A and B are shown apart, each in its own frame.
Chain A
Amino acid sequence: MKNNPLVEKGHDKGQERVIIYCFFALGLVILELLLLDSQWKSDALFHTILESIAAVLAILVGTVALIRFYSRPSNIFLFLGGGFLGTAFLDAYHAVVTSSWIYSYLPSIPATLIPWSWIASRLFLAIMLFVGFLAYLKEKKQGEEGLINPGAVYLWTTLFTLMCFVVFAFVPLPQAYWPEWHFFHRPQELLASLFFLLALIGYLREGQWRTSVFHHWLILSLIVNLVGQTVFMPHSHELFDAQFDMAHVLKKVSYICVLVGLLINMLFLYRQADLSTRLQHEIQERIRAEEKVTIANKQLIAIFEGVDDVIYVADPQSYELLYVNPTFKKIWGEQPLGNKCYKSLQNRDSPCPFCTNDKIFGEFLNQSYIWEFQNEVNAQWYRCVDKAIKWSDERMVRFEVASNITEQKLAEQERVHYRENLERDVKRRTRELNLRTQELEQANKDLEGFSYSVSHDLRAPLRAIYGFVSILKEEYEEKLDQEGHRLLQIIVDNTHKMGRLIDDILSFSRASRLTLQYVDIDMNALVKEVWEDLEAERNATEYQLNCSNLPDIKGDKNALRQVWQNLLANAIKFSKGRTPAIIEVSAEFNEQEICYRVKDNGVGFNQEYSDKLFILFQRLHSMDEFEGTGVGLALIKRFVQKHGGKVEAQGVLNKGATFSFILPK
């Protein structure tokens, strides 16, 4: 049987309830039998009180029923509500009307008024209960569509009660008591009984009373109503006797039964509502949690789908692919999951020999194992990060993220290639350089040997010429005439010259081969030293040396001494005869270099020929004018260049010359 939402669920208590019903019915009958000979008699006041209580109870029941109805619409409660409210009015009316103060105003006598007003109330309730049962069936069959419009019920209730009031107010009522009938002295009561019976039969057959507490109490109430209405009331002889009063009391009992049933039903309803609310909350929470999970899921999926790297998960024992990301599919095709990883990725028929599963499940457990390899299917290079991870079903699986590094790999290979080529080139060049160096060293050595030869071998014949010419001059002086002397003198002079030339060449060659030994040089002291050494040359003229404060510098002392020697010797030589002969030595410097100058006021030179000055053996004067071999300036240039510096010369004919050399700091 479908879950009937109209009533609270319960266990099948049918068997025990049947017993209760029988017990009740029987009990009530026995009660009547016991009261058969009772001499009880009450009065109108008692009756009024009873019926007032009844009215109040009926209002209560009706209200509760309607509250129940509006909690969750259902026909049965509507009819109960309407029925009991109507009954309340009729009971009230019945109570009032039996009061001694009122009935005097009414056209009927109490003996008729009381029973008929009683009947009105009972009949109304019985009809309502019966119709209520029919409406219950309708709703059961049709569901929500079977709901009766409350307005109709209220209208019927109001009309009936009003009609009763009107009738009782203006119509004299017929007889209500037939004492001649054997048992049923008030047969009109049986009409109400009929409807009670019909309703009772209906509900009993319907069967909900087995599981629903409300229905159970409703049936109890109906039994009480039926018995009361069938057995007690019709049997009452007169007003206020035992049966009469008991019927009234049973009426209230029946009301109370309905009330109990309603209250229990409402209790269940509240419980259900409460449960339902809680369930709703739980469901909402679940939904929210699910949404969160869904969002998180979506995000994760978005990330995994968005990544360019290849990501896959495979079972380490069966090698089946458990998850592949879209990049994987793009490269190796739409593989249904479950394929072997070695088949999909490497197109092999058995596990790859280089599989890293041993590592990630062994020594590298809980770490990432990073390696590079070239895929056999698409020939791309990948940097793989492998790790053993826990899958959703708690087993440890193989997880790999592979980044395509083909470009970098190729670039790397190119670089290696390039570097190898470079190294080869460098090796070759080095070899060549070494060879050249060897050649140069050899040449240098040869040169050294050469100059050594020059030292010795060129000198010796020169010395011989010199010596023997002198001896000739000495021994055969008288035998020679003037011409003879002159000729001899020419020989001697040329010999001198040759000697000086040899010396100069030697100096120059040594200057070229010189390895500079850098020391801190006090230039002032050096210039002074050189000037004093040149004293012999300075004998002919008064020389004035103006030497300003020269900055120190790092350089080869011997080389720079020779530089100063040559410069000052030149200055002296070329300003011979000047009065006064002024030689100025000065220096300028900036952050990178120092420029030393020697200025004289001698014969100077034509600036046009300045570029010839520093060339070996080049002279701007003939031997008659000034002696010299033309080596001095070339020597200076060579020395200065060796220091990484340069030379300069400015001259004005007959005014003087300035020679400068610039050395880096």
Chain B
Amino acid sequence: MNMEEGQMDILLVEDNPNDAELTIRVLKKNRLANHIEWVKDGEVALDFLLGRKAYQERDISLHPKVVLLDLRLPKVDGIEVLKTIRATKALKDMPVVILTSSKEDKDLVAAYDLGVNSYVRKPIAFDEFSKTISELGLYWLVINNKPD
């Protein structure tokens, strides 16, 4: 994999540090991603993507290859983030994968209505969890193509 300077691989939006740690660990272990940006709530996620507040200096043309988005987030929740992303011209094509514990159908439906690329439920069992994350990473970072 190319390690370009300033490359942005994954934006992980996850409020649970444990889940975040496990996810990052798996991704790193499988050497799927070099740069993983982890934010803890929806507001900061949008700040990052749109170059606001703390991320004013960031080059916002540098999009992550995929956004791994949890649904239950403080401040701005996952669905809202998704909505904003899809409503922003610069970001609308960006791959968003919802990664959540929720088994609620209404979340699923709402996400797809807003044009999410993929909706994945986090397994409890760690082996399953590992497998899922690594497959996800492989797919979205390596296999999938997206326009520049």
Question: B134 to chain A: closest CB distance in Å?
Answer: 14
Beyond A456-B72, A460-B16, A460-B19, whether A466 also contacts B101 by CB under 8 A is: no
How distant is A217 from chain B, measured CB to nearest CB, in Å? 141
A462 is an interface residue with CB less than 8 A from chain B: yes
Bound-state CA distance A466–B130 (Å) is 11
Tell me the count of chain A residues lying within 8 A, CB to CB, of chain B. Answer: 19
Please judge, given known A-B contacts A459-B122, A459-B124, A499-B125, whether A467 and B18 are in contact too, CB under 8 Å: yes
**A468 adjacent to chain B (CB < 8 Å):** yes
Check if A496 sits within 8 Å of B125, measured CB to CB.
Answer: yes
Tell me if A452 and B102 are in contact (CB < 8 A): yes
| Pair B102/A455 contact, Cβ less than 8 Å | yes
B103 CB to nearest A CB, Å: 5
Task: Report the separation of the CA atoms of residues A39 and B30 in the bound assembly, to the nearest whole angstrom.
Answer: 202
A496 to B126, CA, bound (A): 10
Instruction: Give the docked Cα–Cα distance between A452 and B100 (Å).
Output: 12
Is A49 positioned at the interface, with any CB of B under 8 Å from its CB?
Answer: no
* A466 and B126 contact, CB distance less than 8 A: yes
Nearest CB of A to B136, in Å? 15
The answer to the question of A623 belonging to the interface, with a C-beta cut-off of 8 Å to chain B, is: no
A460-B125 in contact given A467-B18, A467-B22, A471-B25 (Cβ < 8 Å): no
Asked if B5 is at the interface of the complex by the 8 Å CB criterion, the answer is no
Q: Could you tell me if B124 and A466 are in contact, using CB atoms closer than 8 angstroms?
A: yes
Residues of B contacting A467 in the complex (Cβ-Cβ under 8 angstroms):
18-19, 21-22, 126, 129
- 1/0 per residue, CB under 8 A from B, across A463-479: the answer is 11011111100000000
- Whether the pair A464, B19 counts as a contact (CB closer than 8 A) is yes
B103 and A455: CB pair below 8 A? yes
A439: shortest Cβ distance to chain B, in Å? 23
Are B103 and A463 neighbours in the complex by a CB distance under 8 Å?
Answer: no
Query: How many angstroms between the C-alpha atoms of A496 and B21 in the bound complex?
Result: 20
SS class, residues of chain A in contact with chain B: helix
In the assembled complex, the Cα of A496 lies from the Cα of B125 at a distance in Å of 7
Which residues of chain B are near A459, meaning CB under 8 Å?
101, 122, 124
Q: Which of A464, A495, A496, A499 has the most CB of B within 10 A?
A: A464
Contact of A469 among B21, B25, B72, B126 (CB under 8 A): B126
With beta carbons under 8 angstroms apart, the residue of B18, B127, B130 that contacts A460 is: B18
B113 within 8 A of A: no
Digitize A642-665: 1 where CB-to-B-CB distance is under 8 Å, 0 elsewhere: 000000000000000000000000
A residues in contact with B129, CB < 8 Å: 463, 466-467
B104 interface residue (CB < 8 Å to A): yes
Nearest opposing residue in chain A for B126, CB measure: A470
Inside 8 A of B103's CB, which chain A residues have their CB? Answer: 455, 506
- Contact between chains at A463 and B122 (CB < 8 Å): yes
Shortest B23–chain A CB gap in Å is 9
How far does the alpha carbon of A464 sit from the alpha carbon of B22 in the complex, in Å? 8
* Cα of A66 to Cα of B25 in the assembled complex, Å: 168
CB-based contact B101/A452 at 8 Å: no
Q: Give A472-513 interface residues, CB cut-off 8 Å to B.
A: 495-496, 499, 506
Question: Quick check: A495 and B124 within 8 Å, CB to CB?
Answer: yes
Give chain B residues whose Cβ lies under 8 Å from the Cβ of A506. Answer: 103
Q: How far is the CA of A72 from the CA of B77 in the complex (A)?
A: 141
Residues of chain A within 8 A (CB-CB) of B102 are 452, 455-456
A-chain residues with CB within 8 Å of residue B72 when the two chains form the complex: 456
Residues of A within 8 A of B130 (CB): 470
Contact partners of B16 in chain A: CB under 8 A: 460, 464
B21 CB to nearest chain A CB (Å): 8
* Structural contact, A455 and B125, CB atoms closer than 8 A: no
Q: Which of A333-382 contact B (CB under 8 A)?
A: none
| Option from A464, A466, A468 in Cβ contact (under 8 Å) with B125 | A466
- Least CB distance from B131 to A in Å reads 12
Closest to A496 in B: B125
- A470 touching B19 by the CB < 8 A rule? no
B104 close to A455 (CB less than 8 A):
yes
Instruction: Give Cα A470–Cα B100 distance, bound, in whole angstroms.
Output: 20
Q: Once the chains bind, are B124 and A462 in contact (CB under 8 Å)?
A: yes
Cβ of B127 to closest chain A Cβ, rounded Å: 7
Residues of B within 8 A of A496 (CB): 125
> Of residues 11 to 34 in B, which have CB atoms within 8 Å of A's CB atoms?
16, 18-19, 21-22, 25
Complex Cα spacing A506 to B122, Å = 16
Q: Find the residue from A460, A461, A467, A506 having the highest chain B CB count within 10 A.
A: A467
**Could you say which of B21, B102, B125, B126 has the most chain A C-beta atoms within 10 Å of its C-beta?**
B126
User: CA A401 – CA B20 in complex, angstroms?
Assistant: 97
User: Complex formed: what's the CA distance from A455 to B101 in Å?
Assistant: 6
Given known pairs A467-B129, A469-B126, A470-B127, the reply for A460 and B101 (CB within 8 Å) is: yes
Chain B proximity mask over A431-467: 1 for CB below 8 Å, otherwise 0: 0000000000000000000001001100111111011
Tell me whether A463 and B104 are in contact (CB under 8 A): no
List residues of chain B with CB within 8 A of the CB of A455.
101-104
* Chain A hits for B104, CB < 8 A: 452, 455
Q: Please give me the residue from chain B that is nearest to A500 by CB atom.
A: B124
Give CA–CA (A456, B22) in the complex, Å.
Answer: 16
Mask, A561-579, CB within 8 Å of B = 1, is 0000000000000000000
Cα distance A460–B18 in the bound complex, in angstroms = 8
8 A Cβ contacts from B88-131 to A: 100-104, 122-127, 129-130
- Residues of B within 8 Å of A452, CB to CB, are 102, 104
A513 to chain B, nearest CB (A): 12
Residues of A within 8 A of B21 (CB): 467
Given contacts A455-B102, A456-B101, contact A463 B127 (CB under 8 A): no
B15's nearest neighbour on chain A, judged by CB, is A460
Q: Is the CB of A468 within 8 A of B124?
A: no
CA distance A469 to B127 in the complex (A): 11
- Asked whether, in the complex, the Cβ of A463 is within 8 Å of the Cβ of B124, the reply is yes
Q: Which residues of B contact A495 (CB under 8 A)?
A: 124
A512 → B minimal CB distance (Å): 16
Min CB gap B38→A, angstroms = 16
10 smallest beta-carbon distances between A and B, as pairs: A464-B18, A470-B126, A459-B101, A467-B22, A499-B124, A467-B126, A466-B126, A456-B101, A455-B102, A463-B124
Since A460-B101, A463-B18, A506-B103 are in contact, a sample of 9 more A-B pairs with Cβ atoms closer than 8 Å, ordered by chain A residue number, is: A456-B101, A463-B126, A467-B21, A468-B18, A471-B22, A471-B25, A471-B126, A496-B125, A499-B125
Q: Can you show 14 pairs from A to B with CB atoms below 8 A apart?
A: A452-B104, A460-B16, A463-B19, A464-B18, A466-B124, A466-B125, A466-B129, A467-B19, A467-B129, A470-B126, A471-B22, A471-B126, A495-B124, A499-B124
Binding site for A on B (CB under 8 A): 16, 18-19, 21-22, 25, 71-72, 100-104, 122-127, 129-130
